[in-house]
Amino acid sequence: MKVGTDGILLGAWASISENARILDVGTGTGLLALMLAQRSQLSEDTIIDAVEIDYDAYCQATDNVKSSPWSDRINIFHSSIQDFSPNRSKQYDVIISNPPFFENAYKASQASRTLARHSDSLLQTDLLQISDRLLKPNGRLAVIYPTDLAHNFLNKAEAFNLFGDRQVNVKPTPKSAIKRILLELSKTKLPIRETLLTIEEIKHIYTKDYINLVKDFYLNL
């Protein structure tokens, strides 16, 4: 799984503080880790730990990070997050994940594609439990899900002391239904701030809001 709109949206939108410690869960080929490193390039003390269970993706993420200007601030780990998290003593300011979400669906014959797309390897409760333990008291968890799974995630989150803080409902076009929801959760229960983002006015004509959000990550847009 390479660069996709979900990852670009999440990496461009998630809140990051100065000198943050960040955990990228399921980094794939390193997209989110590299985007957050680019966004925090003036903050030399920002460190990103990126975890990936698939070996081939881990190898490509390692190569991508080595080829980037931010290799000294990104650590790539070949592990499941379930095995990685019990060994961590430090907590994080930000946990970010573009999680697998297909459930009860046809499984791809390619094992790596199945890991990237299907939720078997990272259940919502796994991510919430890990975030509850590894987030600092003022830390934030940022994810993107299809609409129904985003609502499920918010409902489950309260049992893990995590509450919706920011929410962006994403529509492909003005006449489309909401297809994705960007969520940011924290350990403080406050009224959720909800906004709408439309990607295209018409096919291949992007909205100003979308361009303003993601323009730093494209050569041409």
Packed helices 147-157 and 124-134: angle between N→C axes, nearest 10 degrees? 50
Averaged pLDDT, 168-188: 98
- If one counts every other C-beta atom within 10 angstroms of the C-beta of residue 196, the result is 12
Whether 190 and 163 have beta carbons less than 8 Å apart is answered as yes
Q: Quick one: which of 56, 153, 64 has its CA closest to 100? A: 153
213 versus 104: which is more confidently predicted?
213
Q: Mean pLDDT in the chain?
A: 92
Global confidence as pTM? 0.90
Helices assigned H by DSSP within the chain? 5-13, 31-39, 55-66, 81-84, 111-117, 124-134, 147-157, 208-214
pLDDT at 110: 52
Which range (99-103, 104-108, 119-123) has the least confidence?
104-108
The confidence band for 111, taking pLDDT boundaries of 50, 70 and 90, is very low
What's the rounded Cα separation, in Å, for the pair 114 and 66? 26
pLDDT band of 101, cuts 50, 70, 90? confident
Residue 76: what pLDDT?
98
CATH number of 5-216: 3.40.50.150
Question: Which pLDDT score, from 0 to 100, does residue 16 have?
Answer: 96
Return the percentage of the chain with pLDDT > 70, whole number: 90
pLDDT at 107 over 70: no
Domain boundaries of the chain, sorted by first residue = 5-216
Q: Which amino acid is at 16?
A: I
Instruction: Compute CA distances 151 → 74, 85, 144, 187, whole Å.
Output: 31, 25, 11, 18
Q: Which residue has the tokens 């494209």?
A: 218
Residues of the chain with pLDDT > 90: what percent? 85
196: pLDDT confidence band, cut at 50, 70 and 90? very high
